[in-house]
Amino acid sequence: MDSTILGIESSCDDTSAAVIRNGLVLSNIIAGQKVHEAYGGVVPELASRAHQQNIIPVVDQALKQAGVDKKDLSAIAFTRGPGLLGSLLVGTSFAKGLSMALRIPLVEVNHLQAHVLAHFIKEYESDNRQPQFPFLCLLVSGGNSQIILVRHWNDMEVVGQTIDDAAGEAFDKCAKIMGLPYPGGPAVDRLAKEGNPNAFKLNKPHIPDYNYSFSGLKTSFLYLIRDEMKNNPRFIEENKADLCAALQATIIDILMQKLRKAAKDLNIREVAVAGGVSANSGLRKAFADHAEKYHWKIHVPAFSYTTDNAAMVAMSGYFKYMDKDFASMDCVPFARVEI
């Protein structure tokens, strides 16, 4: 019998709904929220209001595009956390209401696990190569930088993580220093292509184990610019591409060094990357280079599954649905929750 899951994602500033049938994605609709651009970051109150406006049309469009009627759904999967509480509440309440009305199971999904499980989404006319267990997943987004040991879809262990800022935050905060619009990651990526990564030397952290730190890098970037601007007020404009290239290369170096160490120590060559920063062209190239040099089998997501999306939520929900791991109607969203 077919298992058709509607996934709902509303953890931050993207309202998304997707339909997955037996692991195959039928639709994945994402409505971004332009309202935050003027503020240089996500404003939680505005995000939850925009989710309220977007959720019904987004779900409607996801069902239509999938060619699926509500009554054909097997379960509703939703992101329970981590994320912004007001945003999560919109998706959680909507999912509960719909599951109650349709009398079908409700499945709660951990947003971080969903990023990892995006690698199992199947698409029409694609080779649908999936990671083999156990594998390592580098999860890099605006809120997280973690190395996750994935033993099974429901058995994950964080073996390393950032002790302060996330990699995406480092991109965004440094981009803001240079006057680039939010989120700065994509702009840094674009400009870095024309710059020299060795033009400036930035601080790299020295912390133990497989953990990360990015706050020192941000400070070193800020001080470099502050000092240079004293002599040349046009320093940023004249060196933007080189600054972006050096910043990007340093972030990637930090990320890959710990990932290499974890892969070596744990003797794992199956390595994936997930989260918003996995869209970065330099990081993708670093993965390809490591595949060649260290004989890693790499898994890099399609661009549509790098940032927040409901297909990954529906995929996680599908696995849980198959295990009959259902949520109760009194479950509440969590702003903070581990993998």
Q: Which listed residue (184, 216, 301, 317) binds ligand KG4 by CB under 6 A?
A: 184
Contact status: 183 vs ligand KG4 (CB under 6 A) = yes
Site mask, ligand KG4, residues 140-179, x = CB under 6 A? -xxx------------------------x--xx-------
Contact status: 277 vs ligand KG4 (CB under 6 A) = yes
Q: Are 18 and 27 in contact (CB under 8 A)?
A: yes
Evaluated on CA atoms 285, 254, 149, 307, the torsion sign reads: negative
- Lookup: tokens for 325: 């791991």
Element (H, E) at 138: strand 135-140
Please report, as residue ranges, which positions from 283 to 322 form the binding site for ligand KG4 (by CB under 6 A). Answer: 307-308
CB of 320 to ligand KG4, least distance (A): 21
- Lookup: tokens for 228: 């240079």
Long-range contacts of 95-100 (CB under 8 A, 24+ apart): 95/8, 96/329, 98/6, 98/59, 98/70, 99/75, 100/329
Cβ partners under 8 Å of residue 87, min gap 6: 10, 11, 12, 13, 44, 47, 48, 51
The CA R_g of the chain, rounded to the nearest whole Å, is: 20
CB of 144 to ligand KG4, least distance (A): 7
DSSP string, 259-313: HHHHHHHHT--EEEEESGGGG-HHHHHHHHHHHHHH--EEE---GGGTSS-HHHH
Angle between helices 44-66 and 85-102 (to 10 degrees): 30
Contact status: 276 vs ligand KG4 (CB under 6 A) = yes
Contact status: 86 vs ligand KG4 (CB under 6 A) = no
Q: Given the complex with ligand KG4, which of 98 and 252 has the nearer CB atom?
A: 252
Contact status: 7 vs ligand KG4 (CB under 6 A) = no
Q: Given the complex with ligand KG4, which of 15 and 74 has the nearer CB atom?
A: 15
Q: Given the complex with ligand KG4, which of 173 and 290 has the nearer CB atom?
A: 173
Q: Which listed residue (280, 300, 318, 339) binds ligand KG4 by CB under 6 A?
A: 280
Q: Are 8 and 91 in contact (CB under 8 A)?
A: yes
CB of 278 to ligand KG4, least distance (A): 8
Q: Given the complex with ligand KG4, which of 108 and 172 has the nearer CB atom?
A: 172
Q: Given the complex with ligand KG4, which of 15 and 307 has the nearer CB atom?
A: 307
Residues of this chain that interact with ligand KG4 (CB under 6 A) are 12, 141-143, 168, 171-172, 183-186, 189, 275-277, 279-280, 307-308
